[in-house]
Each structure stands twice: as C-alpha cells, then as structure tokens.
Amino acid sequence: MTEETRRKLFEGQKTVDKVQETEEDVVLNMSLRPHKLTEFVGQKEITDNLKVCITATKQRKEPLEHVLLSGPPGLGKTSLAHIIAHEMGTKITATSGPAIERAGDLIGILTNLEKGDILFIDEIHRLSKVVEEFLYPAMESSQIDFIIDKGQFARTIKFNLKPFTLVGATTRTGLLAAPLRARFGIFYHLDFYQIEELARIIKHSAKILGMKIDDEAAEEIARRARGTPRVANRLLRRIRDYAQVAKIDKVNLEVASKTLDELRIDKAGLDEIDRKALKLMLESFNGGPVGIDSLAASLNEEVDTISDTIEPYLLKAGYIKRTSRGRVATKLAYEHFGIKYAKQEELF
C-alpha cells in the first residue's frame, strides 16, 4: 500500500475510536445487529434464562418483567433489548437517560406505549433524579402522577398506563439508585466475549458485508478485538476497506494482521489509548497506585471513558488491578513493554 493510500485509509483512526462512531459505522452496525435470540452469539446463561422467561410470560399472556442489562459498551445490550421486543412480538421505543431531560418528556413516551411494549432506556444511570422518581410508579403499578395547577390549587392526578416492560442498560450498576435497581425483576450482566465467539460474529458479519475471509484471519481479528463485538465489527470494516482498495478477494491471516498492525492494534489486542494509559501508569506513576481522576487528566480523556471503556478491559485482561488506593499495573503490564518488574505483587 502506498503511503498516500495508507494515510487516506487510516486517517483519524490511528486509535480506533472506542466512543464515537462515524455515521457510516452506525448504519452498518444496525445491519450487523442480531435480530433473534438464536442469532445472538455467546452469553449463553443470559440467553438460556431469557428464553425461559419469555416463553413463560408469553404463555401467561403477561408483559415481561422489567429487565436491567449491565456491562461495558459494545457487548450487546441494545441488541438484546431489540431481540426481547422481537421475541415478545411487541414494539420497542428506544431512548436514553440523558435524552429525557424533564419528566414531561417521559409522559409522552409512556402514554404512547401499548400493552407489553418495550421501553428501552440506554445509559439509565444518567437519568435525572426527578425523572427517575417519576418512573417508579410507572414501573411498579403502571401509573403516573401528574401535578396540575400551582400553589393552593395544585392537585395530583393519577393516570393509568398500559402495562409495559422497561429494559434499562447501564455501563455501571454502581451508579444506579437502589430504589430504581430494586424495581427490575430480571438482571443480567454481560461479560467480555471469548475469542471463538468473536470469530463466529466476525464470520457472520463478513457474510452480511459480502466479504470473503478465512478462519485464521477471523480468529486474528477476534484476538485483537478487546473481547467486544462492536470492536470486532469495526476492525472488520476497516479490513474490508483495505481489501477493497488493494483489490484483495479473500482476507487471509497476513492481510488481517497487516491491517491490524497499521491500525496500531498490537498482538495482545491493545490499541494506542490502552498502551498510552498503561505506559503513563508505569512511567509517570511508577506503576501506581493512581486514581482515575489523575489518569484521566494526564491522558486528556473523560473520566467516564476511562472507567466505562478502557479500564474494564485492562482489568479483565490482567494488565491492571484495582486496590483501595487506586489502580496498579501488574507484572503483565511491565512485561508487555519489556520493562523490568521490581515490585512485590503481594503488597497489593
């Protein structure tokens, strides 16, 4: 590939952006989204349990209990919410915590729901307190309380809603108020995916994208996808761009590895931000402990980006540990950069 082509292909993507997606990515993501429970790869305990809940509820002709989905971004929470609606044979209305600014915004949405419909609220931990409290009676007894008039004429009017199912998604259950958490009957935590599961997702996505790819190449992408289907699909799309420009008919291991190297995803699957964060911990903070705020400030990143996206994978992959005094780099992190590890792990 010429330097010019390389620059065009990878411009702006030197660090595979984990948070923002381009418009094309969003559209493609929708087409790659699984629609049925049987198409949802991995998370077997969750899908098995969900199948039983859905079958039983449908037999009783009742709406499904409220469902709370938690886990890092890109693991399939939104996909599962859509799948639930599909399997229940109901409509889904999707919104997000920050989009509902006032209780009034929610009234319109709630009163438009039919019996058994799904209301999906992404980032539910970011609902304002007022909106959250407004949701409680809606979730519990399908009622909302309106206050009309002001001062001495103020009156509360109860309005009956049709029984619906709230599916909430959050990257951090810890930030959810206890009374809200308690109103969910079904709770699932999504974990990072196995390489073999990601390889299946990649092969399936390649088919939808009209791409030919061999098993070894799919596994290589899976190994470097941070255990995350969204990242796997994004890497696949970049490899598709490369293959198209280079007129390569079938992606093999060599093509996949070369493109991933050019995207600066290393053999362990860490990207530039991961490496920057780890190096900072090792070099500027002597391996830690370091607080998330200092890390975010030094990296010039939002605290939320670190705690929602960067940290969970580095923890899971064993590069860092969380201690009461902050995050510390493990021996694996030192080894990754070929730096001598001189600490005693037991201390942490």
CA distances from 267 to 9, 130, 220, 336, 337 (A): 21, 47, 9, 10, 12
CA distances from 141 to 10, 165, 180 (A): 52, 12, 14
Instruction: Find the shortest distance in angstroms from Cβ 79 to ligand ADP.
Output: 3
Are 162 and 115 spatial neighbours (Cβ–Cβ below 8 Å)?
Answer: yes
Check binding of 40 to ligand ADP (CB under 6 A).
yes
Q: CB neighbours of 338 closer than 8 A, spacing ≥ 6?
A: none
User: Per DSSP, what are the bridge partners of residue 188?
Assistant: 69
Strands 67-70, 165-170: parallel, antiparallel or unpaired by DSSP?
parallel
Q: Which stretch binds ligand ADP (CB under 6 A): 27-35, 180-188, 211-219, 289-297?
A: 27-35
Check binding of 78 to ligand ADP (CB under 6 A).
yes
Q: Which is nearer to ligand ADP, 201 or 213 (CB)?
A: 201
Check binding of 287 to ligand ADP (CB under 6 A).
no
Check binding of 183 to ligand ADP (CB under 6 A).
no
Give the separation between CA 260 and CA 238, rounded to whole angstroms: 9
Directed axis angle between helix 253-262 and helix 215-223, to 10°? 30
Check binding of 229 to ligand ADP (CB under 6 A).
yes
Check binding of 46 to ligand ADP (CB under 6 A).
no
Contact with ligand ADP (CB under 6 A): which of 76, 116, 227, 288?
Answer: 76
Check binding of 32 to ligand ADP (CB under 6 A).
yes
Check binding of 74 to ligand ADP (CB under 6 A).
yes
Contact with ligand ADP (CB under 6 A): which of 79, 165, 170, 309?
Answer: 79
Instruction: Find the shortest distance in angstroms from Cβ 260 to ligand ADP.
Output: 18
Q: How many residues bind ligand ADP (CB under 6 A)?
A: 20
Residue 159: phi, psi to the nearest 5? Answer: -125, 125
Check binding of 29 to ligand ADP (CB under 6 A).
yes
* Residue list 189-218, contact with ligand ADP (CB under 6 A): 201
Q: Which stretch binds ligand ADP (CB under 6 A): 31-39, 175-183, 271-279, 283-291?
A: 31-39
Q: Which stretch binds ligand ADP (CB under 6 A): 38-46, 49-57, 155-163, 280-288?
A: 38-46
Give the separation between CA 242 and CA 211, rounded to whole angstroms: 12
- H-assigned helices in 101-214: 103-111, 129-141, 178-182, 195-208
List, by residue number, the catalytic residues.
77-78, 122, 171, 230
Directed axis angle between helix 292-299 and helix 272-283, to 10°? 120
* Residue list 159-178, contact with ligand ADP (CB under 6 A): 169
Q: Which is nearer to ligand ADP, 201 or 270 (CB)?
A: 201
For residue 308, the 8-state DSSP code is I
Contact with ligand ADP (CB under 6 A): which of 90, 170, 233, 259?
Answer: 233
Instruction: Find the shortest distance in angstroms from Cβ 52 to ligand ADP.
Output: 18
Estimate to the nearest angstrom the gap between the alpha carbon of 217 and the chain centroid.
Answer: 24
Give the separation between CA 233 and CA 218, rounded to whole angstroms: 11
Estimate to the nearest angstrom the gap between the alpha carbon of 189 and the chain centroid.
Answer: 11
Check binding of 118 to ligand ADP (CB under 6 A).
no
Name the 3-class secondary structure at 249. coil
Check binding of 226 to ligand ADP (CB under 6 A).
no
Check binding of 97 to ligand ADP (CB under 6 A).
no
Q: Which stretch binds ligand ADP (CB under 6 A): 91-99, 229-237, 295-303, 335-343?
A: 229-237
| Nearest alpha carbon to residue 167 among 313, 48, 238, 63 | 63
For residue 299, the 8-state DSSP code is H
> Which residues are at the interface with ligand ADP (CB under 6 A)?
29, 32-34, 40-43, 73-79, 169, 201, 229-230, 233
